[in-house]
Amino acid sequence: MKVIKIDKKDWAGGIDKIQDAYRLSGPVREEKSHNFKVLGKGELPDLNFLNTRLSPKSIVYPQSEIMFEYSLDEKDPDHHIMKDAAKDYSPKAVLGIRPCDASAFLLVKRNFDTPDYKDPYWVRAYESTTFIGAACNNPCSTCFCTTAGSGPFNEDGLDILLADAGECYYAKAITEKGDNLLNTAGWKTIADGGALKKIESLKKEAEAKISSLVSTDQLNNKKTTELYEAPFWEDVSFSCINCGTCTYLCPTCWCFDIQDENSGCSGVRMKNWDSCMFPLFTIHGTGHNPRGTKLHRVRQRFMHKLKYYVDKYESGIQCVGCGRCIRSCPVNIDIRRVCDMMNSYDPKACACAVK
């Protein structure tokens, strides 16, 4: 595996070259927090951040995306015919994505890119993107990535792992895509043998700083119906206000809604993020809502992430431990607490299950 040493004085020049070949996004400081945005020429990503407030999922999967356009003008020979909307799948790169967020794309991929069905918008956007991860030297107190299948130096889903070693960056090329980007940037100095050791020690240091852990080992063994009927859901869901914060900020939540919007004689068919927290998500044409209470909806979110997904794909939970839903929930519903309640749930002792 190739490790490149990037002198910090060569940083801006390399980024400039990347921008000639890729549409580059990176974290920038907005008023009070960091968020990903497309960087203008001369604009540098700000890697001095804990994590961004919103996840970078919108780079591949925008909150609103037009799929088709159509005309309603009957004088138009093509009226009422759906036509593909213009798309730009030229190469994109994300510089500074955290390893947890990059691995989240792999969890989402299981849904959008299957042997039988492929979401063409998600798949093409994902495939056209190169992910340059900023390894996390200082995880937050709400990060539980190491027990959620990821980690501060996790390489899954990344094309390059960038480790900040003080005076320089070490860039570990993980895929061919990553190799190509490093070449484009002109970062070519092969690091000496100490680099891998340095990365390994930074990794150990960062992992030791993770103070939040979840237990997920029993989720697969639990009976779905027993978890579904567990008495703790009333306690867990009480404070929920059923806003969409947790799902919209989550890097692994993928649900969307399809809408047609007309304006005058033309219209578009678009997909918009949706949220299982909203009553409208499940309401039927009859007016009946199978998830009519917030208890139903809160339970659905946790059961999907921590039970249904676990059972269906048999490769862990649908969560990478980024902690955004914990940090941003207006009422402090904490997935770590719920995960542990589910993992340790014993229906025979259910009288004691509510903490």
Residues near another protein (CB under 8 A) are 30-33, 48, 50, 53-54, 63-64, 138, 140-142, 235, 238-239, 241-245, 248-249, 257, 259, 261, 270, 272, 275, 278-280, 283, 326-328, 330-334, 336-337
Q: How far is the CB of 293 from another protein (least distance, A)?
A: 11
Q: Which is nearer to another protein, 53 or 109 (CB)?
A: 53
Question: For 218-304, where are the alpha helices, taking DSSP H only?
Answer: 224-228, 232-237, 245-249, 294-303
CA distance 157 to 131: 8
Rg of the chain in Å (alpha carbons): 22
Q: Which is nearer to another protein, 119 or 156 (CB)?
A: 119
129 — phi, psi (to 5°)? -110, 135
Q: Which is nearer to another protein, 130 or 212 (CB)?
A: 212
Q: How far is the CB of 140 from another protein (least distance, A)?
A: 5
Q: How far is the CB of 47 from another protein (least distance, A)?
A: 13
Among the listed residues 23, 61, 19, 21, the one whose alpha carbon sits nearest the alpha carbon of residue 41: 19
Q: Which is nearer to another protein, 66 or 82 (CB)?
A: 66
Q: Which is nearer to another protein, 170 or 254 (CB)?
A: 254
Question: CB under 8 Å to 117, separation ≥6 — which residues?
Answer: none
Q: Which is nearer to another protein, 53 or 296 (CB)?
A: 53
Specify burial of residue 32 (Cβ count, 10 A radius: 0-12, 13-18, 19+). exposed
Q: Distances from the Cα of 212 to the Cαs of 22, 40, 88, 145, 181, in angstroms?
A: 36, 37, 40, 8, 34
Q: How far is the CB of 87 from another protein (least distance, A)?
A: 17
Q: How far is the CB of 138 from another protein (least distance, A)?
A: 7
Q: How far is the CB of 257 from another protein (least distance, A)?
A: 6
CA distance 97 to 26: 7
CA distance 257 to 274: 6
Q: With contact defined as beta carbons under 8 Å apart, do 264 and 73 qualify?
A: no
Q: Which is nearer to another protein, 13 or 330 (CB)?
A: 330
Q: With contact defined as beta carbons under 8 Å apart, do 296 and 288 qualify?
A: no
Q: How far is the CB of 343 from another protein (least distance, A)?
A: 17
